[in-house]
Amino acid sequence: MAHRGAAGSVCILKFVALLVALSPELLFLGAEVQLRDNGYNGLLVAINPQVPENQNLIPSIKEMITEASFYLFNATKRRVFFRNIQILIPNTWKANNYSKAKQESYEKANVIVTGWNGVHGDDPYTLQYRGCGKEGKYIQFTPDFLLNDDLTAGYGSRGRVFVHEWAHLRWGVFDEYNNDKPLYINGKNQIKITRCSSDITGTFVCEKGLCPQENCIISKLLKEGCTFIYDSTQNATASIMFMQSLSSVVEFCNASTHNQEAPNLQNQMCNLRSTWDVITDSTDFHHSSPMDGTECPLPPTFSLLQAGDKVVCLVLDVSSKMAEADRLFRMQQAAEFYLMQIVEVRTFVGIISFDSKGEIRAHLHQINSDDDRKLLVSRLPTTVSAEAKPSICSGLKKGFEVVEKLNGKAYGSIMILVTSGNDELIGNCLLTVLSSGSTIHSIALGSFVVQKLEELSHLSGGLKFFVPDKTNSNSMIDAFSRISSGTGDIFQQSIQLESMAETVEPHHQLKNTVTVDNSVGNDTVFLVLWRTGGPPEIVLFDPDGRKYYTSDFITNLAFCTASIWISGTAKPGHWTYTLNNTHHSPQVLKMTVASRASSSAMPPVTVEAFVDRDSTYFPHPMTIYANVRKGSYPILNATVTATIEPETGDPVMLKLFDDGAVVRKTLGN
């Protein structure tokens, strides 16, 4: 977070990284910024669709990053600058000859502009919780910060602020100030300022005005009301991570100017290393040298993009391997749930099945009602073919054919690819996928899917999931539930509240309680799934004690699902369900609960989970992160558990500690 100058207060961002039930494989997903010939290419700035249209925002963003480019170039001693930037305009704004977005989306943005800034007010900040030297998730600005020039009196110019936040995001350095401890006493009983560098000058102020610094100390404690006001005119050139608002500050603290005594996050997180030491140790600096000459680089160029219609195509494997381990059946259940609940209103949806060739099962159909959803469910594949070798490229080719009928191109579309096949020819369509402008989310079933499948997702900016062949797992539903439109409009997205799967012995029951808080409740669905026999006996209690029975649920015997949508807004509180196995043999029973925001005036509680690598082997651990928040407000003191499903063996449960700052759990082999 950028430091305000003496004219305003200083705020410290308290990072919250918590955990959730994590079955599918989730990676840090952001636009990949490339450094080439000293210039950063591909920086993505996205405006949240909830931000009202204001054409002044775009030139403000341009001016900020243009100024930042030159300031960064000088601060890094002619090492790096910004060459080209993409600005993603929400489709809620009127079209204005913007280029069509391809694989760019709000969820992948390096910089976001949103009005939901929670406890941070209009403070810019960077979400970083991976430790020293590690990239952060994104930088966040509010429209007010970008449009209200009065705020620059405290922060300094927006370009300087951007460089401060960029250092957080790109190089994993931390703030050199501390609002909670702006003054400290060193080992010589001297009062010192939490600053970097120590050359920054100012005046001590006590309760009755100016005073010598020794008057700020009472028995080695700082006197209440004692503070330090920085001089507006300085000679110190460092540091950008302390107070970029000072006009003299043009550098990062290095070994000679760094204050190792200061009780700040930079010293705490980076083992007393200076910011410049951490920055120069980055990959960026290992692969670049200072530019020759004295000329400045050209100003950055900007591309204005706008997302079009929301278009999704399910590309579903029906080769003979899908008959193994109930793969087709579990895919049917998950796809039905996706079509009936997850995919957003006004989305165009198509369905493709494929074995050695692709087949169009449903051309694009826009979802405007439940009847539209049911029509698409009726087009899902119900049988497997006799062919064992699936052709993923054939399935994707048919998918592109379907989505291109809407606007002539596949730009901005989403492909949800589900396959269990070992297709060695996937590489034949990698270039086609990249040029299509479509994002491929892959769901791999079984353990024989080749690495090229993951490349399809990675190169197109999509998610990748692995679903093990376990009947008592809800991983398939969880994977589909994770896939959203990517617009950033959390008020339209379905939020998963419960995912439970268990083998229930005859005449035993699966019972649990689901909490519906007041931020959700619209379009709430309880979905029960089973595999053998008929449906279980279902009893659902709402917070007021009202009962819903099996007869109140809509049953689909073909897909072995029973669902109930709660009319209006579901009552906040504890909902308790009981699933009784009335049969004479064990049943795998599953419950999934999902809902949407209850009001456009109050963002719902959401959880984002990430891993820092997609595989682990000794001695290299995998680290899991999660971010729990309500809008941008961090949710503190939450009890959160991660469920890690290995390919074989039982799930591993990890409980993380929440101290309101940084929470990390490192997994070994």
Known catalytic residues are: 165
* Amino acid residing at 137: K
Environment class of residue 536 by beta-carbon count within 10 Å: exposed (0-12), middle (13-18) or buried (19+)?
A: buried
- From 323, 297, 432, 334, select the one nearest 383 (Cα to Cα): 323
CB count within 10 Å of CB 513 equals 11
* Angstrom distance (rounded) from CA 201 to CA 228: 9
Q: Residue 136: what residue type?
A: G
The dihedral built from the CA positions of residue 252, 258, 262 and 268, taken in this order, carries a sign that is positive
Furthest-apart CA pair in the chain: how many Å? 89
Q: 3-class SS at 168?
A: helix
* Amino acid making up residue 605: V
- Helix, strand and coil percent figures for the chain, each rounded to 5: 25, 30, 45
Q: In angstroms, rounded to a whole number, what is the distance separating the alpha carbons of residues 578 and 580?
A: 6
- By CB atoms closer than 10 A (0-12, 13-18, 19+), residue 399 is buried
* Dihedral sign, Cα of residue 539, residue 545, residue 551, residue 555: negative
What the block records as the tokens of 96 is: 């204005």
In angstroms, rounded to a whole number, what is the distance separating the alpha carbons of residues 506 and 431? 53
DSSP 301-327: EEEEEE--S-EEEEEEE-SGGGGGGGH
| Amino acid at site 637 | N
Query: Which spans in 248-389 are helix H?
Result: 265-269, 275-280, 283-286, 327-337, 370-377
Enter the DSSP assignment of 630: E
Task: Confirm if 35 and 83 have CB atoms less than 8 A apart.
Answer: no
**Which secondary-structure segment (H or E) carries 354?**
strand 348-354
Q: For residues 315 and 616, what is the distance between their CA atoms, to the nearest angstrom?
A: 29
Residues paired with 549 in a beta bridge: 539
Question: Which residues have CB under 8 Å from 2's CB, separation 6+?
Answer: 123, 124, 125, 155, 156, 161, 164, 165, 244
DSSP classification of residue 483: -
Contact assessment for residue 609 and residue 661, using Cβ atoms and an 8 Å cutoff:
no
* 594/524 Cα distance (integer angstroms): 6
